């Protein structure tokens, strides 16, 4: 076993969109597990939009990554040394190992992953945090009803594709929004959406709304919010009375930190947004899935069989090599990925 490992740390905080020099690849000594801990050799790590928030020194869900600190995130790997009962060398586990080839972790935060029931990468996507986010937000806050219309952006991403597929299985009309004709085709052909609009094809919220009206003739009952920006502006006036908006993210605004001046902000005023919530009796709920882990068993029970029988489709976008993680992450923030962004380390 090599005595050194590699990791990527936060070299500096981005001003707007992150660039390669905000990250630094480092070598470090492989740590030794203490009692109750395991050493994991990471096979795959996850890239997720929320990581952009961790790079800022601003109030958000969680503490920021410190400068020179290891970038955080979920990953899945093999136990190569164990000082914990019930966790054996050779077993696969998913946990918050960060952007690194190796990690020591207490077993409390680990989930065992069985490579024989599904590819281990699924624990980072469709069966992991993003898939759970989509399923939970939709069922808990979206309260979907047969015959209603749902809109979700980032339709081919791991959250949006779960939302769309679950809603479709419940008898809703499902309209996706995605970046580019290939992704739109994927949303319809692979994920079974009723329609998908390419947001690149619309200059502003008004023209996007016009196209949405064609695809949503009965208005929108559920807008699953994961992007903000132009899509939110297009959707808002189309919300039906008693509509629901679960909010799990707003990637369009992540690079704005303090949410400074941009086109969307100039037009979307707080009073207008507030008034829409009032006069349409909307139910708007922000959530983070980590507050709801107690429901993950229910999620797996509902969704794992559908993945096994192919009725829920999967799409992954795998980048090879830890050193390429920053570039893949930067691409993710501008929609350069297609499907769940994962980095393969081994």
344: left (phi over 0), alpha (psi -120 to 50) or beta: beta
Determine the interface stretch with a copy of itself among 13-21, 107-115, 197-205, 260-268 (rule: CB under 8 A).
Answer: 260-268
Closest CA to 249 of 261, 263, 231, 274: 231
CA angle 236, 138, 99 (to 5 degrees): 100
In the complex, minimum distance from the CB of residue 233 to a copy of itself, in angstroms, rounded to a whole number? 8
Pick between residue 282 and residue 343 the one whose CB is nearest to a copy of itself: 282
Q: CB of 278 within 8 A of CB of 119?
A: no
Binder among 25, 28, 277, 302 for a copy of itself (CB under 8 A): 277
The C-alpha atoms of residue 101 and residue 188 are separated, in whole angstroms, by: 36
Q: How many residues bind a copy of itself (CB under 8 A)?
A: 37
Q: Binding to a copy of itself by residue 250, rule CB under 8 A?
A: yes
Pick between residue 12 and residue 285 the one whose CB is nearest to a copy of itself: 285
Q: Binding to a copy of itself by residue 278, rule CB under 8 A?
A: yes
Q: Binding to a copy of itself by residue 248, rule CB under 8 A?
A: yes
Do the bridges between strand 75-82 and strand 37-46 make them parallel or antiparallel, or are there none, so unpaired?
antiparallel
The C-alpha atoms of residue 200 and residue 232 are separated, in whole angstroms, by: 15
Pick between residue 269 and residue 311 the one whose CB is nearest to a copy of itself: 269
Binder among 86, 90, 271, 297 for a copy of itself (CB under 8 A): 271
Burial of 197 (0-12, 13-18, 19+ CB in 10 A): buried
Q: Binding to a copy of itself by residue 279, rule CB under 8 A?
A: yes
Contacting a copy of itself within 171-230 (CB under 8 A): 225, 228
Pick between residue 285 and residue 338 the one whose CB is nearest to a copy of itself: 285
- Which two tokens mark 218? 């009965």
The C-alpha atoms of residue 335 and residue 73 are separated, in whole angstroms, by: 19
Pick between residue 29 and residue 279 the one whose CB is nearest to a copy of itself: 279
Q: Which residues contact 63 (CB under 8 A, 6 or more apart)?
A: none
Determine the interface stretch with a copy of itself among 17-25, 40-48, 127-135, 262-270 (rule: CB under 8 A).
Answer: 262-270
How many residues does the structure list for the chain? 346
Contacting a copy of itself within 48-87 (CB under 8 A): 59-61
Determine the interface stretch with a copy of itself among 17-25, 40-48, 96-104, 245-253 (rule: CB under 8 A).
Answer: 245-253
In the complex, minimum distance from the CB of residue 338 to a copy of itself, in angstroms, rounded to a whole number? 25
Pick between residue 186 and residue 239 the one whose CB is nearest to a copy of itself: 239
Torsion, Cα 329 333 335 336, to 10 degrees, reads -30
Q: Binding to a copy of itself by residue 256, rule CB under 8 A?
A: yes
In the complex, minimum distance from the CB of residue 270 to a copy of itself, in angstroms, rounded to a whole number? 3
Pick between residue 158 and residue 228 the one whose CB is nearest to a copy of itself: 228
Contacting a copy of itself within 100-139 (CB under 8 A): none
Contacting a copy of itself within 281-320 (CB under 8 A): 281-288, 291
Determine the interface stretch with a copy of itself among 38-46, 86-94, 263-271, 337-345 (rule: CB under 8 A).
Answer: 263-271
Q: Binding to a copy of itself by residue 235, rule CB under 8 A?
A: no
Between helix 296-308 and helix 129-136 the angle, nearest 10°, is 100
Q: Which residues contact 222 (CB under 8 A, 6 or more apart)?
A: 138, 142, 143, 144, 148, 149, 150, 151, 167, 172, 243, 244, 245, 246
Residue 164's φ and ψ, nearest 5 degrees, are -65, -40
- Which two tokens mark 53? 């928030």
Q: Binding to a copy of itself by residue 17, rule CB under 8 A?
A: no
**Contact residues for a copy of itself (CB under 8 A)?**
59-61, 225, 228, 232-233, 247-250, 253, 256, 259, 264-265, 268-275, 277-288, 291
């Amino acid at each position: 076993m090599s005595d050194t490992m590699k990791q990527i740390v936060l070299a500096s905080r981005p001003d707007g969109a992150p660039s390669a020099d905000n990250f630094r690849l480092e070598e470090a000594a492989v740590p030794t597990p203490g009692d109750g801990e395991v050493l994991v050799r990471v096979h795959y790590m996850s890239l997720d939009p929320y990581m952009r928030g961790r790079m800022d020194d601003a109030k958000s869900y969680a503490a920021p990554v410190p400068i020179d600190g290891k970038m955080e995130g979920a990953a899945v790997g093999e136990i190569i040394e164990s000082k914990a009962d019930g966790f054996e060398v050779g077993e696969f586990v998913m946990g918050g190992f960060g952007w690194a080839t190796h990690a020591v972790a207490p077993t409390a935060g680990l989930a065992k992953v069985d490579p024989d029931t599904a590819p281990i990468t699924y624990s980072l996507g469709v069966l992991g945090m993003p898939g759970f986010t989509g399923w939970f937000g939709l069922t808990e806050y979206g309260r979907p009803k047969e015959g209603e219309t749902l809109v979700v952006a980032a339709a081919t991403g791991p959250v949006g594709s779960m939302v769309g597929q679950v809603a479709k299985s419940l008898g809703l009309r499902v309209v996706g929004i995605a970046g580019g004709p290939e992704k739109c085709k994927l949303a319809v052909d692979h994920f079974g959406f009723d329609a998908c609009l390419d947001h690149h094809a619309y200059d502003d919220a008004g023209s996007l709304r016009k196209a949405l009206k064609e695809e949503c003739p009965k208005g929108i009952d559920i807008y699953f919010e994961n992007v903000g920006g132009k899509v939110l502006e297009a959707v808002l006036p189309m919300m039906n009375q008693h509509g629901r908006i679960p909010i799990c993210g707003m990637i369009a605004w992540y690079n704005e930190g303090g949410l400074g001046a941009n086109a969307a902000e100039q037009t979307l005023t707080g009073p207008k947004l507030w008034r829409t919530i009032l006069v349409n009796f909307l139910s708007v709920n922000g959530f983070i899935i980590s507050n709801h882990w107690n429901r993950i068993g229910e999620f797996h029970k509902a969704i794992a069989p559908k993945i096994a029988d192919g009725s829920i489709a999967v799409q992954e976008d795998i980048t090879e090599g830890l050193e390429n993680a920053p570039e893949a992450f930067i691409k993710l923030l501008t929609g350069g990925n297609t499907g769940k962004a994962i980095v393969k380390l081994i």
